[in-house]
């Protein structure tokens, strides 16, 4: 009698392996593969999906990420997850956003040290104080903030939609918190008057216009893409300014011969794993918060159900309104 073998589901799809081999040396990859397999098994057992930000290392991003993207995509997709558990391979504000967009799910973050210098630069009380100083002026809040700060806001924005969100309000003046460089960039691209807070990203504020000039000298013809959290001089010297996903899209679709990605270092690796015919020049500036997330941490989060991220329901309801209002602006544009 013929024996039917049970179908064997490969723990690591072939396409994922090819991507990882592209950017991770063999000795290192050999150490990651057993962990990736274990995480894939644990995800099935627990009923979990891993949301991975573009700044995660390739073994996390390509190896175990189920939903991958920029902070806007992760916020929108978090609200659609049907699995009982969401593991955020990103930073704490992203996990809070997932929790408030999908309060029925258990949201885990593998490390409580995965913070963000922008999120730490402003408190809810400071937003209330700003409102007292500027009565009637709406508050537009970058998603890189705590849920408590979002709850004090009229609407959120990300680097992918900031100008559009500001203009959607139809007012002459807005308060924009907390990133001063993003605020300046928006101010340069709209007629709306922008009153900015003084926060900044410790990763992006290190780039200078001289870095861009040096790339152009070293690599003639290079296309320079910069994240709007970079200082104004960098943005003025760049060819394209956009969110992490806008940069990925540019590389995938335009296929320029050589590009420089002026942003966090791992993103260039993640793009290079996938797009092989574009030379990617990568300034290796690392976000120490994003690097708190490791394969070991994700495995332990799944094994032990930690660290659960919960937002007070009253704060979550107000913060959710600000995030949903932002998402609706994008929907309106798409019709």
Picking from 80, 100, 72, the residue whose alpha carbon sits closest to that of residue 228 is: 72
Residue of closest CB approach to ligand 13P:
70
Is residue 117 close enough to count as binding ligand SF4 by CB under 6 A? yes
Omega before 19 within 30 of 0, i.e. cis: no
Task: CB nearer to ligand SF4: give 36 or 87.
Answer: 87
Burial, 233: exposed, middle or buried (Cβ in 10 Å; 0-12, 13-18, 19+)? middle
Residue span 32-71 as binding mask against ligand 13P, x where in contact by CB under 6 A, dash where not:
----------------------x---------------xx
Nearest to 77 by CA among 107, 47, 57: 107
Rounded to a whole number of angstroms, the minimum distance from the CB of residue 238 to ligand 13P is: 14
Is 97 a binding residue for ligand 13P by CB under 6 A? The answer is no
Element (H, E) at 176: strand 173-177
Using CA atoms, how far apart are residues 257 and 278, in angstroms rounded to an integer? 5
Instruction: Determine the distance from the C-alpha atom of residue 128 to the mean position of all C-alpha atoms in its chain, rounded to a whole number.
Output: 26
- For the bound state, the minimum distance from the C-beta of residue 9 to ligand 13P, rounded and expressed in Å, comes to 31
Contact 176, 194 (CB under 8 A): yes
Q: How far is the CB of 55 from ligand 13P (least distance, A)?
A: 7
Q: Does 74 bind ligand SF4 (CB under 6 A)?
A: no
- Work out whether the CA dihedral 233, 238, 244, 246 comes out positive or negative: positive
- 289 forms part of the interface with ligand SF4 (CB under 6 A): yes
Residue from 56, 145, 153, 158 in contact with ligand 13P (CB under 6 A): 158
Residues engaged in binding ligand 13P (CB under 6 A): 54, 70-72, 144, 158-159, 201, 229, 243-244
Residues engaged in binding ligand SF4 (CB under 6 A): 91, 116-118, 144, 201-203, 229, 264, 287, 289-290
């Amino acid at each position: 009698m013929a024996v039917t073998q049970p179908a064997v589901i490969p723990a690591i799809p072939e396409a994922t392996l090819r991507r990882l081999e592209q950017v991770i040396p063999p000795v290192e990859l050999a150490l990651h593969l057993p962990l990736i397999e274990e995480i894939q098994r644990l995800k099935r057992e627990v009923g979990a999906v891993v949301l991975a930000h573009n700044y995660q290392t390739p073994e996390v991003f390509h190896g175990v990420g189920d939903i991958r993207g920029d902070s806007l995509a992760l916020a929108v997709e978090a609200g659609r997850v049907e699995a009982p558990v969401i593991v955020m391979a990103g930073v704490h504000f992203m996990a809070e956003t997932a929790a408030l967009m999908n309060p029925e799910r258990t949201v885990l973050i593998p490390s409580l040290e995965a913070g963000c210098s922008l999120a730490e630069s402003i408190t809810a009380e400071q937003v209330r104080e700003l409102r007292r100083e500027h009565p009637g002026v709406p508050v537009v809040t970058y998603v890189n903030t705590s849920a408590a700060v979002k709850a004090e806001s009229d609407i959120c924005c990300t680097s992918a939609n900031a100008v559009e969100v500001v203009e959607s309000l139809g007012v002459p003046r807005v308060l924009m918190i907390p990133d001063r460089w993003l605020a300046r960039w928006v101010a340069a691209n709209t007629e709306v008057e922008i009153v900015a807070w003084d926060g900044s990203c410790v990763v992006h504020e290190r780039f200078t216009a001289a870095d861009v000039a040096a790339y152009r000298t070293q690599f003639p013809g290079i296309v320079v893409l910069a994240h709007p959290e970079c200082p104004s001089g960098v943005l003025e010297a760049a060819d394209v300014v956009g969110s992490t996903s806008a940069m990925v899209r540019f590389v995938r679709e335009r296929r320029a011969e050589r590009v420089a990605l002026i942003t966090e270092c791992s993103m260039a690796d993640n793009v290079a794993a996938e797009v092989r015919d574009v030379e990617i020049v990568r300034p290796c500036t690392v976000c120490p918060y994003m690097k708190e997330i490791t394969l070991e941490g994700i495995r332990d989060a799944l094994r032990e159900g930690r660290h659960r991220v919960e937002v007070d329901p009253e704060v979550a309801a107000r913060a959710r309104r600000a995030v949903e209002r932002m998402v609706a602006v994008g929907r309106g544009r798409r019709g």
